[in-house]
Amino acid sequence: MIGRLNHVAIAVPDLEAAAAQYRDTLGAEVGAPQDELDHGVTVVFITLPNTKIELLYPLGDASPIRGFLEKNPAGGIHHICYEVDDILAARDRLKADGARVLGDGEPRIGAHGKPVLFLHPKDFNGCLIELEEV
Amino acid sequence: MIGRLNHVAIAVPDLEAAAAQYRDTLGAEVGAPQDELDHGVTVVFITLPNTKIELLYPLGDASPIRGFLEKNPAGGIHHICYEVDDILAARDRLKADGARVLGDGEPRIGAHGKPVLFLHPKDFNGCLIELEEV
């Protein structure tokens, strides 16, 4: 069911410093910061040859990243995203197997303009998983 | 400098259950458990179309995963691994930029039989980074 690893998302306490580090110290291809108002994050995309890293920084008071950074002031890996062909079929299979889908269980439009869902980390080895339909 | 994302490593409290979940619920290609005595882990490799997930479970009393699971009993993402062409050149560039390399700074032979180094998570947004020469 799951396909490619679409991205690894890392919450960072200083977006400019983290972007500069990936560009200058790690020598990666780093994009410009993009505000994603609907998702409460400013994102910097790092393009690797086979996948992406997304640096996340809180945008707005209701940002889902804010609480994460309060618990992890140095930052940390926030989630990983797997691609699926059919997000509703994926959701139904997961729910049938007892996995919890976050929110109301309906896909939202994610940061890439595609339908996404998040799965409960307690059901997946402490790992927050995003599914994105591609 | 960094190339492909070689893998994402997830520490899990129950290797058999996690492997079954990735195989049966998430529908991924899941390998057989492999004991890596030198690294204190039993590993299950999950092959995605563009990268790998490695499920890690402690092996032996000195396993580096044991402390992580004590702090994170449900499991969690333990590290991510970036590929580099020349690990000594990468190390020297990182050290020149003030990043700390774990251990004595000399590459070890990693779980894939290639030279690896780990970078200090405090220097990289709370994220433990492995570099692997390919």
Q: How confident is residue B38, by pLDDT bands cut at 50, 70 and 90?
A: confident
Give B37→chain A minimum CA distance, Å. 23
Please answer whether residues A28 and B1 qualify as being in contact, where contact means their C-beta atoms are separated by less than 8 angstroms.
yes
Which of A62-66, B11-15, B43-47 has the weakest average pLDDT? A62-66
Give me Rg for the CA atoms of chain A: 15
**Is A15 touching B (CB cutoff 8 A)?**
no
Predicted confidence at residue A112, as pLDDT, reads 84
Dihedral sign for Cα atoms in the order B54, A111, A32, B99: negative
Over 90: is that where the pLDDT of B47 sits? yes
* Mean predicted confidence (pLDDT) in A10-28: 97
Question: Per residue in A87-109, pLDDT tens?
Answer: 999 999 999 999 999 999 999 99
- Are the Cβ atoms of B4 and A49 closer than 8 angstroms? yes
Over 90: is that where the pLDDT of A38 sits? no
Task: Centre a 10 Å sphere on the Cβ of residue B57 and count the other Cβ atoms it contains.
Answer: 23
Over 90: is that where the pLDDT of A45 sits? yes
What is the distance between the alpha carbons of residues A33 and A2, in angstroms, rounded to a whole number? Answer: 28
Share the mean pLDDT of chain A. Answer: 96
Predicted confidence at residue A110, as pLDDT, reads 86
Catalytic residues of A: 130
Smallest Cβ distance to A12: which of B10, B27, B125? B125
What is the distance between the alpha carbons of residues B132 and B134, in angstroms, rounded to a whole number? Answer: 6
Q: Please identify which of the residues B16, B83, B106, B130 carries the catalytic annotation.
A: B130
- Structural domain boundaries of chain B? 5-133
* Mean predicted confidence (pLDDT) in B44-73: 96
**Is B48 touching A (CB cutoff 8 A)?**
yes
Give B56→chain A minimum CA distance, Å. 11
**DSSP tag of A99:** P
- Are the Cβ atoms of A125 and B49 closer than 8 angstroms? no
Question: Per residue in B67-123, pLDDT tens?
Answer: 999 999 999 999 999 999 999 999 999 999 999 999 999 999 988 889 999 999 999
Predicted confidence at residue B111, as pLDDT, reads 81
Question: Per residue in A77-86, pLDDT tens?
Answer: 999 999 999 9
Predicted confidence at residue B4, as pLDDT, reads 98
What is the distance between the alpha carbons of residues B128 and B130, in angstroms, rounded to a whole number? Answer: 7
**B130 has catalytic annotation:** yes
Give B28→chain A minimum CA distance, Å. 6
Smallest Cβ distance to B50: which of A11, A51, A122? A51
Q: At A7, list the tokens.
A: 């991205």
Question: Per residue in A122-131, pLDDT tens?
Answer: 999 999 999 9
Chain B residues inside the 8 Å CB shell of A55: 125
- Are the Cβ atoms of A1 and B125 closer than 8 angstroms? no
Predicted confidence at residue B56, as pLDDT, reads 98
Over 90: is that where the pLDDT of B43 sits? yes
Question: φ and ψ at B2, to 5 degrees?
Answer: -70, 145
Pick the CATH number of B5-133 from 3.20.20.80, 3.10.180.10, 1.20.1530.20, 1.20.1630.10: 3.10.180.10
